[in-house]
Amino acid sequence: MSSLRARRRPRGLVTGIAALGVGALLLWHGALPDTAGAASLIETFLPWAGALIVLLGLGALLRLSVFAGLAVATAAAIWWSLFGAAALPAVSAGAPAFTVVSENVQAGNPSAAAIARDLAGRSPDLIALQELDGTTLPAVESVLDAAYPYRSVVGTVGLWSRYPLSGEERLSLGLGWDRALRVDVATPGAPTSVYAVHLASVRPGENAQRDEMLAALTSTVRADDAGRVLVVGDLNTASTDRTLSPLTDVLAENPDSALGLGFTWPAALPLARLDHAFVRGLTTVSSTVLPDNGSDHRGIEVGLR
């Protein structure tokens, strides 16, 4: 009987190994092959490894296992090193010179006018919207056109502005139809080259169009010699997704100004940040995810100077 007891596996062994596995995934997820977009999907939800670490921590506590506890602590430290700074509220960098809101209003949404009123009620200087169609575009126009005298609409994306617009360019980004625009906005201090974009959606095994558009967008921004650049919209790409790295090599996005990781989708229970505002030559002084207002995405609001 005593020999059987001696051969019994150490307490919390499975929990500890699982925790070390989670830590290894956090450290070396970049080594995963992106077959059919599988790695991209895993990286989209990578921050949620923190929830798994919490559950494993409870298991280690229940098992009273030193090994499991150390393994969980190691995984938690790795998670914090990757996401801790982003989860904390960003330090204010002063007052903005202008503000921008962006939201995917959801095609065919009967609440589009209410969404536009909600966004306009925040008095931003620029409003970027995605999924404008035969239902949502007229509803949005009826709300925004009076207060925002300058606008540019290309395909299913649009930009409403308090400042004059010039040099509009229609961008297909390789998709075959226009789903993005570039326009110069006469923002305070100096003009800003604004890209309002909506990249292709991603589903398991269906990421090629999104990746192609993202690569084309990155190349276009690299070639843009404007002193101030803003890329805003629904990129259908999470901040942790490796496919976003080439764009973030040339543009920056500040952490959310509130506690948390600034997830925007789905609106009812956000699991990932798919909506972004990337800048070059500008300082993001505030970044906020807006409350659910009737779309399947939550909007974002950024203050820039």
Tokens 């509130």, residue? 258
pLDDT per residue as tens digits for the range 243-256: 999 999 999 998 88
Q: Tally the residues of the chain.
A: 305
Reported as a single tens digit per residue, the pLDDT across 54-82 is: 999 999 999 999 999 999 999 999 999 99
Instruction: Select, from the ranges 86-90, 177-181, 243-247, the one with the highest average predicted confidence (pLDDT).
Output: 243-247
Pairing of strands 284-289, 300-304: antiparallel
Helix 66-87, helix 49-63: angle, nearest 10: 150
C-alpha pair distances (Å), 115 with each of 25, 59, 269: 39, 44, 18
209: tokens are 């169009």
- pLDDT bin (cut points 50, 70, 90) of residue 1 is very low
SS3 285: strand
Distance of CA 216 to the CA centre of its chain: 18
What average pLDDT does the segment 202-223 reach? Answer: 93
What residues form DSSP beta bridges with 194? 183, 230
Cα separation of 136 and 116, whole Å?
Answer: 10
State pLDDT tens for residues 111-137.
Answer: 999 999 999 999 999 999 999 999 999
Q: How confident is the model at residue 9 (pLDDT cuts 50, 70, 90)?
A: low
Instruction: Give the pLDDT score at 175.
Output: 84
Residue predicted with more confidence, 203 or 13: 13
Strands (E), 106-222: 126-130, 150-154, 157-161, 165-171, 180-185, 192-198
Helix H or strand E segment including 100: strand 98-104
Average pLDDT over residues 24-33: 96
Token couple for 218: 């990155």
Amino acid 250: pLDDT:
96
* More confident of the two residues 207 and 18: 18
